[in-house]
Amino acid sequence: MNCDDSLVVANCLLVLCNRLTMMIGRQIERQLEVFKVEGGFTEGLTAERLAYRKQQSVSADAPVCPLCGKPMIKRVAKKGINSGKEFWSCSDYPQCNGTRRI
């Protein structure tokens, strides 16, 4: 390999690195656009899990929400004077704050 060949090879490598950097940059920009519209992978998984949990926890004897009419889910109060006690909560929570005593 003479001096000219080395220069050509070095130049080719530089061009290749530059192209790859540009391609990766464009790919990241495209993924960012998709992320803005559809949300991230973890976000999608959380939405699926919450929908499944909601579907599982709506029992046949569940009353309907006094505010919006959707089925209610049995929950346990985590704080306040009713802490530890069960109550009915709207399945549309947090969009709806409807509750009923059990």
Task: Say whether residue 90 binds Zn ion (CB under 5 A).
Answer: yes
Task: Say whether residue 72 binds Zn ion (CB under 5 A).
Answer: no
Under rule CB under 5 A, which residues in 41-70 are in contact with Zn ion? 65, 67-68
Task: Say whether residue 96 binds Zn ion (CB under 5 A).
Answer: yes
Number of residues that bind Zn ion (CB under 5 A): 7
Q: Shortest CA distance to 57 belongs to which of 92, 98, 100?
A: 92
Burial 53-80 (b: 16+ CB within 10 A, else e): eeeeeeeeebeebeeeebbbbebeeeee
Compute the least distance from the CB of residue 57 to Zn ion, in Å. Answer: 15
List interacting residues with Zn ion (CB under 5 A): 65, 67-68, 90, 92, 96, 98
